[in-house]
Amino acid sequence: MSYDKNNIFAKILRGEIPCNKVYENEYVMSFYDHNPQKKIHVLVIPKGEYIDLDNFIDKASNIEIVEFNKGISQTIKILKISNQEGGYRILSNTGKYGGQEVPHLHYHIFGGERVGKMVV
CB atoms < 10 A from the CB of 69, how many?
A: 13
Of these residues, 41, 104, 106, 108, which one is catalytic? 106
- pLDDT band for position 120 (50/70/90)? low
Are the beta carbons of 8 and 45 closer than 8 angstroms? no
What domains can be seen in the chain, in order of their start residue? 8-111 (3.30.428.10)
- For residue 18, count CB atoms less than 10 angstroms from its CB and return exposed for 0-12, middle for 13-18, buried for 19 or more: exposed
Cα dihedral 19, 81, 49, 37 in deg (nearest 10) = -60
- pLDDT band for position 119 (50/70/90)? low
Mean pLDDT of 78-104: 93
Tell me whether residue 34 is one of the annotated catalytic residues.
no
21-76 tens-digit pLDDT: 999 999 999 999 999 999 999 999 999 999 999 999 999 999 999 999 999 999 99
Mean residue pLDDT of the chain comes to 95
Is the model's pLDDT at 79 over the cut of 90?
Answer: yes
Q: How far is CA 25 from CA 12, 87, 88, in A?
A: 14, 24, 22
Would you state the pLDDT for residue 85?
Answer: 87
Q: How far is CA 34 from CA 20, 69, 101, 120, in A?
A: 9, 22, 14, 23
